[in-house]
């Protein structure tokens, strides 16, 4: 019911109606006006700014920044057809895995969105700094058929290409992809991707892909310890971005890339990732088997690994870890 009310308020804005009466909403949904009021209060608690004017009705003030179910228009085949919104979560990846455990099986493409994370996850056990109302934090649960566990890592560059396409379309900013999972903007980290997968050697059982984007954070929102390495769309572009629109675009591009991956295989996506990956052609430093190496990043392997020619002449394929451009 709440999702339907949010959708009606959002649609009223879209069609240029400033207010929609409680009576009209009640009639449309077949409930009492008192019930509508209770849902309005719930929507407010979850971030909706709603004006209530006697004899006029309700007006949703912030539809473009609202990520509630009903506000976000999901026009996809798979990604986001099941959509869960939380005003707060420890991490969207953890919440998605709880849904898996509780329900046993889920449809391909569940999306879990949180307005804020209290224990956001990055790669290699790191945390992810989340600011309420200013970023986009969500996870996607996938069940790609016939994908061996050894190829699960391909879902990271797939996600990177899709998110890149959405960011460039919405912002026009010079986004770059850094292997293996970073979205960069003018040398600083704008967002990241975290893949957590489970399965057997010959079959991936499920994958949970977490995406975090710094959207409208100001310089004051970024901790001093991260100020030299992190940025946001607002900081670099100088204007706020409607989070709802950006999320809708990300879900759409993810759906398109995932559909191509299932029907055409990984090579079209990898071709695009190789074109966009700024790490290629760079001299890099990295840790390999507890030793520090440097060399040239020369390619992306068919499983998504980074192909490196070391300064000592060795050819290596990195499949995880940090690389630092020199």
What is the spatial distance between Cα 231 and Cα 191, in angstroms, rounded to a whole number?
9
Q: Is the predicted pLDDT of residue 124 greater than 70, yes or no?
A: no
**In DSSP terms, which residues pair with 309 in a beta bridge?**
296, 315
What's the Cα-to-Cα distance from 191 to each of 51, 141, 168, 206, 268, rounded to whole Å?
Answer: 34, 19, 13, 23, 23
Output the CATH code of domain 83-276. 3.30.930.10
Q: What angle do CA 194, 200, 203 make, to 5 degrees?
A: 85
Q: How many CA atoms lie within 13 A of 193 on its CB side?
A: 29
pLDDT of amino acid 63: 93
pLDDT tens-digit series, residues 196-208: 999 987 889 999 9
Output the CATH code of domain 2-62. 1.10.10.10
Predicted structure pTM score: 0.94
Output the CATH code of domain 283-325. 2.30.30.100
Tokens 């992809």 map to which residue? 177
Tokens representing residue 268 in the block: 């079209």
Average pLDDT of span 43-56 = 93
83-276 and 283-325 share one CATH topology?
no
- State the DSSP string of 202-229: TEEEEEEEEEEEE-S--GGGS-GGGTTT
Domain extents in the chain:
2-62, 83-276, 283-325
């Amino acid at each position: 019911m709440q999702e339907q009310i949010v959708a009606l308020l959002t649609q009223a804005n879209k069609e240029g109606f400033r207010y929609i009466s409680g009576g009209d909403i009640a009639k449309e949904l077949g409930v009492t006006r008192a019930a509508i009021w209770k849902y309005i209060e719930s929507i407010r608690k979850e971030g909706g700014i709603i004006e209530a004017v006697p004899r006029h009705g309700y007006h949703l003030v912030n539809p473009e920044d609202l990520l509630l179910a009903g506000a976000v228009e999901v026009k996809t085949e798979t990604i986001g057809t099941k959509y869960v919104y939380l005003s707060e979560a420890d991490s969207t990846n953890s919440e998605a895995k709880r849904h898996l455990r509780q329900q046993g099986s889920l449809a391909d493409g569940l999306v879990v969105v949180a307005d804020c994370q209290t224990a956001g996850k990055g790669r290699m056990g790191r945390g992810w700094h989340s600011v309420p109302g200013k970023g986009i934090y969500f996870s996607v649960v996938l069940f790609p058929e016939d994908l061996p566990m050894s190829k699960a890592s391909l879902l990271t560059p797939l996600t990177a290409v899709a998110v890149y396409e959405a960011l460039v379309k919405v912002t026009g900013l010079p986004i770059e992809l850094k292997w293996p999972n970073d979205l960069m903007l003018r040398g600083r980290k704008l967002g990241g991707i975290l893949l957590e997968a489970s399965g057997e050697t010959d079959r991936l059982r499920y994958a949970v892909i977490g995406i975090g984007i710094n959207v409208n954070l100001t310089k004051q929102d970024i901790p001093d310890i991260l100020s030299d390495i992190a940025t946001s769309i607002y900081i670099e572009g100088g204007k706020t971005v409607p989070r709802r629109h950006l999320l809708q675009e990300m879900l759409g591009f993810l759906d398109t890339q995932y559909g191509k991956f299932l029907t055409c295989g990984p090579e079209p996506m990898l071709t695009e990732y190789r074109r966009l990956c700024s790490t290629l052609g760079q001299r890099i430093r990295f840790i390999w088997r507890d030793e520090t190496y440097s060399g040239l990043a020369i390619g992306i392997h068919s499983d998504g690994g980074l192909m490196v020619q070391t300064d000592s002449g060795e050819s290596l394929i990195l499949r995880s870890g940090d690389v630092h451009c020199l």
